[in-house]
């Protein structure tokens, strides 16, 4: 096919390697999938949920050109809380997204104490707080309520198990199905758990 300017359209050849990737290798990280989902939620007026920016203190900036500034030194101002927050159905939502390649467990070392305290405070004040956990080896993503994770956290602090078994995530969490436009439709799970 020729375009109006008379030039032929370039056709990209698809190799068998890209054809065989299939469902198991979608090429996006959990964060990228959630960002696509949140954009869809925003555009369809379903919810307003955004990724929280990490607060940094800029210390040194170089200006090699007038139009280009390069940050050469910066520090985190404070520990960040969770990854995402926003409003859905008149409720405050706050959640953390974690991805693991481990096939048998979710390591609690991926979570920090200030995040647990923050999430407990959200729940105490009537908000909804949870984890979205992806087991990349299985291409499975789960919504795991904060209330379900807290006991594992406190058990770890008392020299207990330092992880949550995969089976417990599948039992106590809810599988989030993958879809094209709504890659991680976590709000459909929020509807069943909280409303």
Helix (H) / strand (E) containing 48? strand 48-51
pLDDT at 78: 64
pLDDT digits (tens, 9 = 90+) for 8-28: 545 444 333 333 333 334 446
User: Given pLDDT bands bounded at 50, 70 and 90, which one contains residue 102?
Assistant: very high
Q: Do the annotations mark residue 83 as ligand-binding? A: yes
- Is the pLDDT confidence value at 143 over 80? yes
Q: Write the pLDDT tens digit of every residue in 43-85.
A: 999 999 999 877 777 888 888 877 788 888 877 766 678 999 9
Q: Give CA 59 to chain center in angstroms.
A: 29
**Which domains are present in the chain?**
27-194 (3.40.1350.10)
Q: Give the pTM.
A: 0.78
**How many residues make up the chain in this entry?**
195
Least confident of 4-18, 138-152, 155-169: 4-18
Per the structure block, which two tokens stand in for 49? Answer: 């949920």
Report which of 89, 94, 54 is spatially closest to residue 75, judged by C-alpha positions.
Answer: 54
**Residue 81 is assigned to a ligand binding site:** yes
54 annotated ligand-binding residue = no
**What burial letters (b/e) apply to 64-91, b meaning 16+ CB within 10 Å?**
eeeeeeeeeeeeeeeebbbbbbbebeee
């Amino acid at each position: 096919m020729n375009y109006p300017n008379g030039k032929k359209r370039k056709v990209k050849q698809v190799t068998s390697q890209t054809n065989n990737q299939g469902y198991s290798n979608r090429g996006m990280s959990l964060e990228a999938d959630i960002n696509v989902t949140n954009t869809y939620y925003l555009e369809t007026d379903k919810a307003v949920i955004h990724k929280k920016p990490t607060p940094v203190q800029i210390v040194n900036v170089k200006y090699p050109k007038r139009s280009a500034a390069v940050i050469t030194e910066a520090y985190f101002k404070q520990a960040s809380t969770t990854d995402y927050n926003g409003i859905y159905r008149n409720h405050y939502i706050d959640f953390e997204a974690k991805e693991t390649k481990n096939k048998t467990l979710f390591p609690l070392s991926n979570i920090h104490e200030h995040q647990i305290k923050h999430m407990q405070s959200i729940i105490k004040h009537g908000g909804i707080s949870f984890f979205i956990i992806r087991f990349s080896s299985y291409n499975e993503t789960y919504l795991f309520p904060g209330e379900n994770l807290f006991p594992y956290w406190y058990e770890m602090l008392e020299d207990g198990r330092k992880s949550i078994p995969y089976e417990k995530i599948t039992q106590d969490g809810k599988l989030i199905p993958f879809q094209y436009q709504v890659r991680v439709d976590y709000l459909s799970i929020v509807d069943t758990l909280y409303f």
